[in-house]
Structure 1
């Protein structure tokens, strides 16, 4: 297994007093980043697939549409299963204080993604002019206002939701409808739909799709066929599974498998 460095040299290269510092890497499949800390807050961005990180004792799983935020001096480690481009952004204290005090996932809006891609296209490492700073300040403001979540797959101790979540985790292929679940837990479909939004911040179907995606990623790594995975996850056809996968990850299961094996050209950051 390839193991990345603890970034001590990169930390030393950050100019003193810099408002931000970008690092660009390409990670090979099965990259493990050992526990380490930084004196600055850190935004972590991958170009595709999933990144798994532990910030202090909290485990975070982030698909490419989310950033992982790590506050200054918080011990953290990470693992990346597929080949991917990686951007690490160190954030000075004056700007980092706008972001959460604990590690979390932050959703990338289309504008945040465009700002990141502009920095990456110009290969900006440190501030070159006043516009760079204004652009970065805008990005931090957008991230401060964006969705923050502790988990890509949140949990709940709600007495009606808990048995549903547990059952789906054990059997992601379970196609029981929300209406049928409501009858089982002595509730109504409308009440359960509201509780999913209140407790988990998403719909019943969105939560179940995330469970299925995480299970699919494991099976793709084990080289199971897309058709087999689709059937095992309760889809009537592979195309329905592929459509869900594309919506969640941004590309097909087979492309994910190729990227995981490092068989395609590097995607642009």
Structure 2
């Protein structure tokens, strides 16, 4: 991929010292072509799902995670639903202390509280020593929080690739792993082993995460819990609700109420 220029938006911002914040509101199905930033970037969304295309893979994350992009790494983006967005640019010296590869960082209660405070006050650049101290604490907690490569990892493995593509296209498909094995001319045991080795989770866990991401998008669109449960292949709404609570800690209806009550970030 040829070297991409920095955007005019980036070049108009002051260099982060150590952080700079940018706030946006994006409509559903917003696309960003390939670009890069001169600094490290933490991407934060208020709701739903953020998908980033990287040179070698796709990185998808629900709002519970921050997406970390190291300086100058080319990437493109797709935002499925309208949402509030925050870009936190990180100076080179501090970016070097965060992961060297793009990844997801969970928003612990303290990380969330520190970011919420910056966002609610509409801070763009750090103007006083208190904000600098808060930024330094935030960076320390980010380093301690750990990271994961992807919430819903992908694979180019010749056996897994067609399965993952088909499941992404139809999250409600209830095809069993044994049935998939027959379709790709393999065995259930071989596929189970490859899911664990290449994706870091089993088949059911991967499918549950896929369905959760689809459920978040459909809740944003106003679809009912019963409709979502049926669309995702659950026998009953209660089975879907149980999965949702296990993954997020709250019920779908409570999540929907939070969608309706969500205040602007700027």
Q: What TM bracket, shorter-length normalisation?
A: 0.7 to 0.9
* Deviations 1:175-210 (CA, angstroms, capped at 9, x unpaired): 7999xxxxx9797xxxx8x99888655576543310
SS of alignment partner, residue 114 of structure 1: helix
Residue 87 of structure 1: aligned partner: 86
* Deviations 1:113-158 (CA, angstroms, capped at 9, x unpaired): 1111011111111112222122212222222222322221235799
Distance (Å, rounded) in 2 between the aligned partners of 1:162 and 1:82: 26
Matching of residue 13 in structure 1 with residue 13 in structure 2: yes
Distance (Å, rounded) in 2 between the aligned partners of 1:162 and 1:57: 14
Q: Give, in angstroms, the shift of residue 48 of structure 1.
A: 0.6
Evaluate the alpha carbon distance shift between residue 45 and residue 154 of structure 1 in structure 2; reply closer, same or farther with a 3 A threshold: same
Evaluate the alpha carbon distance shift between residue 7 and residue 247 of structure 1 in structure 2; reply closer, same or farther with a 3 A threshold: farther
Distance (Å, rounded) in 2 between the aligned partners of 1:89 and 1:122: 14
Matching of residue 113 in structure 1 with residue 109 in structure 2: no
- Unaligned stretches of 5+ residues in structure 1: 1-5, 179-183
Residue 78 of structure 1: aligned partner: 77
* Deviations 1:19-68 (CA, angstroms, capped at 9, x unpaired): 11001111111111222111101100001100001133331001001111
Residue 48 of structure 1: aligned partner: 47
| TM-score, length-scaled by structure 1 | 0.72
Evaluate the alpha carbon distance shift between residue 251 and residue 39 of structure 1 in structure 2; reply closer, same or farther with a 3 A threshold: farther
Residue 153 of structure 1: aligned partner: 152
Evaluate the alpha carbon distance shift between residue 119 and residue 29 of structure 1 in structure 2; reply closer, same or farther with a 3 A threshold: same
1:187-226 equivalence runs, <5 A? 200=199, 206-216=205-215, 226=225
Matching of residue 68 in structure 1 with residue 64 in structure 2: no
SS of alignment partner, residue 67 of structure 2: strand
Evaluate the alpha carbon distance shift between residue 110 and residue 203 of structure 1 in structure 2; reply closer, same or farther with a 3 A threshold: farther
- Greater Cα shift, 84-93 or 246-255: 246-255
Distance (Å, rounded) in 1 between the aligned partners of 2:230 and 2:212: 13
- Greater Cα shift, 237-246 or 115-124: 237-246
- Unaligned stretches of 5+ residues in structure 2: 1-5, 178-185
SS of alignment partner, residue 148 of structure 1: coil
Residue 139 of structure 1: aligned partner: 138
